Structure 1
Amino acid sequence: MTLTVRPRRRFRSVPAFLVSALAAAVLVTGVPSAAMAEPNEVGSSKVAQMRKTLDSAAAQYLEAEGLLEASKTQQRELNQKLAAAENRYARSRASIVKYAAEAYKSGRLGVVGVMLNATSPDEFMSRTAALERMTARDEARISEFVAARTEIDQTKGAIDAQVKEQSKQLAEMTKLRKATERALSAVGGYAVDGWVDPYAPTAAAAKRNRDGSWPKESCSVDDPTPANGCITPRTKHALLQAQRWYHYYVSCYRPGDMYEHPKGRACDFSSEPNGFKNFSSRGENKLYGDKLASFFVKNANRLGVMYVIWYCKVWVAGSGWKHYSAAGGNCGDSPAGDHTNHVHVSIL
């Protein structure tokens, strides 16, 4: 019996129309492309103005909040210092009162009499030395008394200054909160409830200045996401902290729009595993977005989060959750604009 072998087919180039069809199929199956990595968040001119106001007001709010916390910390330290000084003052005052009573009873002549009653030069010198030691001790008590009183007065003055500074920062925060409310109201940003995961992880705090304020940062470090641009060190810190627990696709730097992306101060976290899709996430992926948004809200003070946008809601520092819609209409009509396919976070 003769064995036959099927002839090997020669490779032929794939027609151009078939390449286009395959590319379209890849997009449908969810492999991220450059276009998918850049969700278009631009809405109406009112939304653009609102986002600009949020950027400014939230940034200033975080600065005031940091200074307020630093002032409260310093006040607590001053209160401890004041308590210690008041204890020293009370002890030295009791010693001085006792000394004054004894001096009044004995009188200066009594002290001279003790000296004159010495029976020998050696005894006289001994009593003189003892008197000098007593005088030095009493002078030390008096000095401690005066020093404690001075420290009390100075510390109380410093505490009063901190209270005044706190009132100033609280007033500033109230003003900025009202500015945020007005900006959100202009685009229908009514208050809404936002779910926050009570078990959201705790992030490591970003670096602050010694006075509690946030360091000024520029777009100076490489963006480790596929966006391949630059971001600020604080944005990178927030990104890396989030990626300890949340591993879906993310893109940060984006040139050419008016928001924080070209400044390196914002990231978009896809709520779908493999990239941004042109539909609203549901089920487990919606829950993933909920938990990620909760993470940034919970750690806003630690990471310097100005605002978070997710699923037709925006959380703003000092204002809480508000309704958000870039395109109008029903929530999810524009998955990118309404942020139903990704979580946006802006960092100070």
Structure 2
Amino acid sequence: MTAAVRSRRIVANGRPRRRGWIAVLVGVMAVALLVPAAAFAEPDPAHEAASPKVAALRANLEAAAVGYVQAQAALESSRERRAALDTEVRTADGRLAEARARVAKYAAQAYRTGRLGVLGLIVRATSPDGYLARLAAVEQLAAHDDARMNELGRARTAALAARASVDAEVKEQARQAAEMSRRKKAMEVALSAAGARAAEGWVDPDSPLAAPARRAPDGTWPREGCTIDDPTTSGCITPRTLHALRQAQQAGFKRYVTCHRPSGRYEHPTGRACDFATEVGRFADSSATGASRAYGDRLAAFLVRNARRLGVIYVVFYCKIWLPGSGWQNYTSGGARCGDSPSGDHTNHVHVSVY
């Protein structure tokens, strides 16, 4: 039977037969199953952008958190440099002490033996050859004196330079600590203006440690562009975002995740954020419960514990946001109550942004 004949039988008398409707329904269901389930209830930036207060909050938090992370990295780098400089100071002080001891010993010996002066050596010469020999001896004594004194001078210079470097690092640490404090206050002010308040979050000391992301030679975080193909979408992400994603997956968090998003504000369009679904294979249009909620709790704890290693600037999950220096704060954006909007309230996924 041809397709045309079958078609005519299904729509005979202008009404499709029941078996025809079943076939159509099965076909529609099959097509629906072919559409990626992850697209269902995918996090929508419009939920947060719709609220001017939330939009301002996120913008202020990003600026403050980025500054805090930068200052934190600079402070850690300065502490490492100071530790190395402290070693240099101890070494320089040791060399200076040795040089002083040698000069003191040499001076004491010269005093005991009553060394002849230059004029005395020359006057005692009885022949031209003896005169030249005594001049050579005088030059040797002068060179020996110069060597000892130069050694002492170099040791003192090295010690003073090392101490000056340490003093400079101490000032740098104080500056970075003050910057971290200023940024922390900025975050707290922004959160307070949005009605947020401190809340207990997810902290698990038993979370696995992630491998540290690459830093600049001075220990700070280098700026990175969206230069890596995003394995979760057709977009791009930064090398640091890819590292964080891979580390989370290696730690066992392998459920559905998307990173780059071409629209919206904040870090997704720049490839510096990922959304980890709490369900397998999709973003559910409901708040996570049971094992799915526990999965999100563990993932949030993992990201927080490894924030310094991965360059995390904030984590959002289940109506709470974590920021470096401020900890967990209540955070809602999708409705009056937590969970009114699973996407906006982040109750169906864990969001992480990296520097």
TM superposition score normalised by structure 1: 0.86
Match of 2:89 in 1: 82
- The worse-fitting range, judged by mean Cα deviation, of 87-96 and 15-24 is 15-24
Q: Is the Cα contact below 8 Å between 2:240 and 2:354 reproduced in 1?
A: yes
Residue by residue, what CA displacement relative to the aligned partner does 1:60-95 show, whole Å, maximum 9, x if unpaired? Answer: 111111111111111111111010010011111111
Q: Residue 41 of structure 1: CA displacement?
A: 6.3
Q: Residue 135 of structure 1: CA displacement?
A: 5.0
Residue by residue, what CA displacement relative to the aligned partner does 1:269-317 show, whole Å, maximum 9, x if unpaired? Answer: 0111121001111122211111111111111111110000011110012
- The worse-fitting range, judged by mean Cα deviation, of 106-115 and 145-154 is 106-115
Q: Is the Cα contact below 8 Å between 1:59 and 1:306 reproduced in 2?
A: yes
In the alignment, the residues of structure 1 paired with residue 117 and residue 150 of structure 2 have an alpha-carbon distance, to the nearest angstrom, of 25
Match of 2:174 in 1: 167
Match of 2:192 in 1: 185
> Which of 36, 39, 42 does residue 34 from structure 1 map onto?
39
Counterpart code for 1:336: S
Q: Is the Cα contact below 8 Å between 2:43 and 2:343 reproduced in 1?
A: no
Counterpart code for 1:32: A
Q: Is the Cα contact below 8 Å between 1:308 and 1:344 reproduced in 2?
A: yes
* 3-state secondary structure, aligned to 1:344: strand
Larger helix share, 1 or 2: 2
Match of 2:244 in 1: 238
Q: Is the Cα contact below 8 Å between 2:260 and 2:269 reproduced in 1?
A: yes
- The worse-fitting range, judged by mean Cα deviation, of 64-73 and 129-138 is 129-138
Match of 2:306 in 1: 299
Match of 1:8 in 2: none
> Which of 63, 67, 70 does residue 77 from structure 2 map onto?
70
Identity of aligned residues (%): 49
- The worse-fitting range, judged by mean Cα deviation, of 107-116 and 86-95 is 107-116
Instruction: Name stretches of at least 5 consecutive residues in structure 1 with no aligned partner.
Output: 1-10
Change (3 A) 1:118 1:189: same
Q: Is the Cα contact below 8 Å between 1:38 and 1:254 reproduced in 2?
A: no
* 3-state secondary structure, aligned to 2:116: helix
- 1:224 equivalent to 2:262? Answer no
- Counting matched residue pairs gives 334
TM superposition score normalised by structure 2: 0.84
Residue by residue, what CA displacement relative to the aligned partner does 1:162-209 show, whole Å, maximum 9, x if unpaired? Answer: 111111111111111111111111222101111212111111111111
- 1:266 equivalent to 2:254? Answer no
- The worse-fitting range, judged by mean Cα deviation, of 79-88 and 193-202 is 193-202
Match of 1:206 in 2: 213
Q: Residue 140 of structure 1: CA displacement?
A: 2.5
* 3-state secondary structure, aligned to 2:291: helix
Q: Residue 330 of structure 1: CA displacement?
A: 2.3
Q: CA RMSD in A?
A: 2.9
In the alignment, the residues of structure 2 paired with residue 14 and residue 152 of structure 1 have an alpha-carbon distance, to the nearest angstrom, of 90
In the alignment, the residues of structure 1 paired with residue 130 and residue 192 of structure 2 have an alpha-carbon distance, to the nearest angstrom, of 92
Aligned ranges 1:39-188 → 2 under 5 Å: 39-40=44-45, 42-43=47-48, 44-109=51-116, 136-188=143-195
In the alignment, the residues of structure 2 paired with residue 126 and residue 279 of structure 1 have an alpha-carbon distance, to the nearest angstrom, of 101
* 3-state secondary structure, aligned to 2:114: helix
* 3-state secondary structure, aligned to 2:223: coil
In the alignment, the residues of structure 2 paired with residue 248 and residue 123 of structure 1 have an alpha-carbon distance, to the nearest angstrom, of 95
* 3-state secondary structure, aligned to 1:42: helix
Counterpart code for 2:220: S
Match of 1:339 in 2: 346
Q: Residue 36 of structure 1: CA displacement?
A: 3.5
Q: Is the Cα contact below 8 Å between 1:42 and 1:48 reproduced in 2?
A: no
Counterpart code for 1:232: T
> Which of 287, 309, 312 does residue 280 from structure 1 map onto?
287
